[in-house]
Amino acid sequence: MAAGADRSPDAAGSPLADRLNYLFTTMHPPGAPYTNAHVAEEISGGAEYGGVSLTEQYLSMLRNGRRTNPSPDVLRALAKFFAVPVGYLLGDLSPSQAERVEEEVRFLVAMRDKRVRSIALRSVGLPPEVQDSLTTIISQFRQQMNLPLEPPGTNGAGEADGSGGPDGEATNGRR
């Protein structure tokens, strides 16, 4: 994979650092990625994070691999902030489960684009055969532009996994 937002976790370094950096790079509101200071402030100031106190410096150490064993409370708070299972940060998920989380992340990143959302929402309510025709047209455009026929975050059948959050739950909309 390419560097940047498309870089998958575990390419190098500590698995926790890689996964945190992947989430920081990809899971953010339109504009710019979250900063360590912002995430630490949100978690430390939010009752929904269980009273966890997190500093910008400690978060930086987690992201650069200088600290690799945070408390379970810190891991739970980070997982909640990014709306991923805590097992994803721990590396406790099976490869297929981790890939499902990463597919959800890629899907949510794609849905940040207003044009992508507009296209998706405009197809709601159309008959299945019309939706299939639209999928075919989009695939033809992708082929003409030398893009992969299936964009990242699809299940291989041309459909994004719209099952909600990484565990099938609704996402919290933070991103």
Q: How many structural domains does the chain have?
A: 2
Residue 27 is assigned to a structural domain of this protein: yes
pTM value is 0.65
Residue 131 is assigned to a structural domain of this protein: yes
**Three-class DSSP category at 172:** coil
25/57 same-domain check? yes
| Parent domain of 144 | 113-151
Boundary-marking domain end, from 37, 71, 98: 98
Distance from C-alpha of 158 to C-alpha of 152, rounded to nearest angstrom: 10
Residue 80 is assigned to a structural domain of this protein: yes
Note whether 36 and 81 are within 8 A (CB).
Answer: no
What does the angle CA 52 – CA 56 – CA 60 come to, to the nearest 5 degrees? Answer: 110
94/141 same-domain check? no
pLDDT digits (tens, 9 = 90+) for 119-132: 888 999 999 999 99
Distance from C-alpha of 104 to C-alpha of 108, rounded to nearest angstrom: 6
Residue 173 is assigned to a structural domain of this protein: no
pLDDT of residue 30: 75
pLDDT digits (tens, 9 = 90+) for 28-47: 877 788 999 999 999 999 89
Question: Could you tell me the CATH number of the domain that includes residue 54?
Answer: 1.10.260.40
- The segments of the chain whose pLDDT lies below 70 read 1-13, 151-175
pLDDT of residue 152: 56
Residue 3 is assigned to a structural domain of this protein: no
83/128 same-domain check? no
46/86 same-domain check? yes
80/122 same-domain check? no
Number of H helices, E strands in the chain: 8, 0
Distance from C-alpha of 63 to C-alpha of 39, rounded to nearest angstrom: 12
